Amino acid sequence: MVTITPPQPNEAEQKKRKQTLERAKANHLSKQLQMRLQYAKLKVEHGWVRYLIISRQLMWWLIA
């Protein structure tokens, strides 16, 4: 009986694959950070931060 095993990737291929995955993860995190910063900027430009702080203070007062 003959057993056929699939070829194993060599070290160079594994390293390249790992680098590609790390680059994709870094790009994903970068996009998430950009989106969060854009949203924070929008809140500041429209004065929504002030309301958020007031609502948090009100909630804290109601809980205490």
Mean pLDDT, residues 22-45: 93
Higher pLDDT, 42 or 47: 42
Distances (CA, A) of 45 to 7, 39, 51, 61: 57, 10, 13, 27
pLDDT at 23 over 90: yes
Whole-number pLDDT of residue 56:
62
Q: 10 Å Cβ neighbour count for 53?
A: 10
pLDDT band (50, 70, 90) for residue 49: confident
Whole-number pLDDT of residue 53:
61
How far is the C-alpha of 3 from the C-alpha of 47, rounded, in Å? Answer: 69
Mean pLDDT, residues 7-31: 92
How far is the C-alpha of 57 from the C-alpha of 1, rounded, in Å? Answer: 75
Identify the sign of the CA torsion 54, 55, 58, 60.
negative
Q: What is the pTM of this model?
A: 0.58
